[in-house]
Amino acid sequence: MPWPRYSIDAATTISTAMSKQLQAALTDAIQALAEAQGATVAAISAQADLMGLGCVVAEASDHGRTTPPLDVVAGVVALFLEEAADSLEENPHAGTEPNRAAAARAALGLEPGTQGKPLRGRRGQPGRIGTIARWLIYEPASLFKPRQDGRSPFDALIEDIAEHLLRREAAFRVGEQRLAQRARRPPLETAMRVDWLARFERHYCIWSYVAGVRNDLGMAVASLRDDAPDDTDHFVRKSLYYHALFLTELERFTRERGGLWVLPNPTAEQTVADAVWMIRKPTPLTEIDESILRLAVIGWDEIATFVQATHTDTALRRLVDMWHEWIVSCACDPTQQPQPECRVHQCVGWAQSFMTTLDEQWDLLADWYDVPRPQSAVVPTQLAPHMAPPLTKDLSR
Ligand SMILES: [Zn+2]
């Protein structure tokens, strides 16, 4: 799951993406307020698009610390609307005409003398149109007449208010994204002072051997299905070699680092810790067998000498026989999903989940990558028919 990356273009991108739908929704909502009694708390409460704005909710709830009552949220909307109106003029409260800020306040029923009044006057009661027209220096009759750009002066006023609110929301969302981005990049300055690179160098050492186990088990199973006993024998021994290296590196990691998996995400930490245990659990090896394997790779630390020893050393020969028998127990159909009860594929599955989880955590920290991780071009089992070196036979003769 790649996390979104913040860029300086984010504000533009966000406001462009938001502009069409949200701007239309905000314009409609503000228009509805203006057409009725103005931006009263009761009227605002009925406008879901205004009440649901991220910047409004954050302000009203003190950034999520409290759960404000609706009238408090509506009050914040009213304040933001007033601010939007005032933004239309450099000196919004100068008494000189024209003054778009004063006209906008009148359109929202926020200008003194316009509160609670209808837009259009009724018999015996003047509306707000006269005040708006006066601040704009228009004849009241021409306030709703389309101009050359197709918008009436009144529509243009409403859209300008909506535009300000939209930009405020965009700025809020960009700020949120930036905060989230910072939170996602655990720096050296945390109390833990985690040196991620050193950590991951150790993690990837184990990863390499786990990958060897996964690939060679897959190849051993594939060659069984292809009825290629030489290949099967080769990959049985090679997968045992990688399993021995995995066990050795894991033991060293446990001794030197306390076996402590420190990753940016605690769920991933648990997955990885579970996986290293679950990779070992379905195998036929006891703890003593594992210890024999670790001792064996100290003496025969190259694959050639190790494979040779699997033919000559009594203790290793027994382990290879067990390992072979275990791999042969897989009866999964290669064209189907592996059977859940297959212990070989349980091991393969946990190895895969260990590798994927670690890769994801690395990608998270390695923030210089600006594209998603590519898929590997190598599919081990597809290469299997071309990878049957006569290593085992030559050395065993
Ligand atoms: Zn299987």
Q: What is the pLDDT of residues 67-82, one digit of tens each?
A: 899 999 999 999 999 9
Q: Which of 149, 183, 217 is the last residue of a domain?
A: 183
Range of the domain at 356: 196-396
In a domain, residue 2? The reply is no
CA of 344 to the centre of ligand 1 (A): 5
In a domain, residue 1? The reply is no
CA of 334 to the centre of ligand 1 (A): 8
CA of 10 to the centre of ligand 1 (A): 47
CA of 295 to the centre of ligand 1 (A): 29
**Rounded Cα gap, residues 280 and 134, in angstroms:** 83
Do 243 and 151 share a domain, yes or no?
no
322-329 long-range contacts, CB within 8 A, separation 24+: 322/284, 322/285, 322/289, 323/236, 323/239, 323/240, 323/243, 323/283, 323/284, 323/285, 324/232, 324/233, 324/236, 325/284, 326/283, 326/284, 327/217, 327/220, 327/221, 327/224, 327/232, 327/236, 327/239, 328/224
For residue 173, name the pLDDT band (cuts at 50, 70, 90).
Answer: confident
Q: What is the pLDDT of residues 298-349, one digit of tens each?
A: 999 999 999 999 999 999 999 999 999 999 999 998 888 899 999 999 999 9
CA of 389 to the centre of ligand 1 (A): 24
Is residue 239 over pLDDT 50? yes
Please answer whether residues 205 and 257 qualify as being in contact, where contact means their C-beta atoms are separated by less than 8 angstroms. Answer: no
Do 201 and 177 share a domain, yes or no?
no
Nearest residue to 262 (alpha-carbon basis) of 352, 202, 182: 202
Helices 266-280, 229-257: axis angle to 10 degrees equals 130
In terms of pLDDT, which residue wins out, 381 or 303? 303
Do 132 and 259 share a domain, yes or no?
no
Do 160 and 280 share a domain, yes or no?
no
Do 177 and 204 share a domain, yes or no?
no
CA of 332 to the centre of ligand 1 (A): 4
The pLDDT value recorded for residue 382 is 52
The pLDDT value recorded for residue 386 is 41
CA of 211 to the centre of ligand 1 (A): 17
In a domain, residue 355? The reply is yes
Question: What total number of domains does the chain contain?
Answer: 2
Do 322 and 392 share a domain, yes or no?
yes
Do 171 and 310 share a domain, yes or no?
no
Please answer whether residues 347 and 213 qualify as being in contact, where contact means their C-beta atoms are separated by less than 8 angstroms. Answer: yes
Do 132 and 226 share a domain, yes or no?
no
Is residue 120 over pLDDT 60? yes
In a domain, residue 133? The reply is yes
Do 175 and 282 share a domain, yes or no?
no
The pLDDT value recorded for residue 123 is 75
CA of 232 to the centre of ligand 1 (A): 14
End-to-end CA distance of the chain: 50
Give the mean pLDDT of the chain: 85
Other beta carbons within 10 angstroms of residue 313's beta carbon come to 17
Phi, psi of 125 (to 5 degrees): -135, 115
In terms of pLDDT, which residue wins out, 350 or 258? 350
Please answer whether residues 272 and 263 qualify as being in contact, where contact means their C-beta atoms are separated by less than 8 angstroms. Answer: yes
Q: What is the pLDDT of residues 131-145, one digit of tens each?
A: 999 999 988 888 999
For residue 16, name the pLDDT band (cuts at 50, 70, 90).
Answer: low
In a domain, residue 301? The reply is yes
Do 147 and 203 share a domain, yes or no?
no
| % the chain with pLDDT above 90 | 58
CA of 305 to the centre of ligand 1 (A): 29
Is residue 287 over pLDDT 60? yes
CA of 381 to the centre of ligand 1 (A): 14
CA of 282 to the centre of ligand 1 (A): 12
Q: Which of 159, 183, 207 is the last residue of a domain?
A: 183
The pLDDT value recorded for residue 122 is 78
CA of 218 to the centre of ligand 1 (A): 9
Determine which of 126-130, 328-332, 361-365, 386-390 has the lowest per-residue pLDDT on average. Answer: 386-390
Q: Which of 183, 213, 243 is the last residue of a domain?
A: 183
CA of 338 to the centre of ligand 1 (A): 5
In a domain, residue 118? The reply is yes
In terms of pLDDT, which residue wins out, 327 or 65? 327
The pLDDT value recorded for residue 391 is 38
CA of 219 to the centre of ligand 1 (A): 12
Do 92 and 132 share a domain, yes or no?
yes
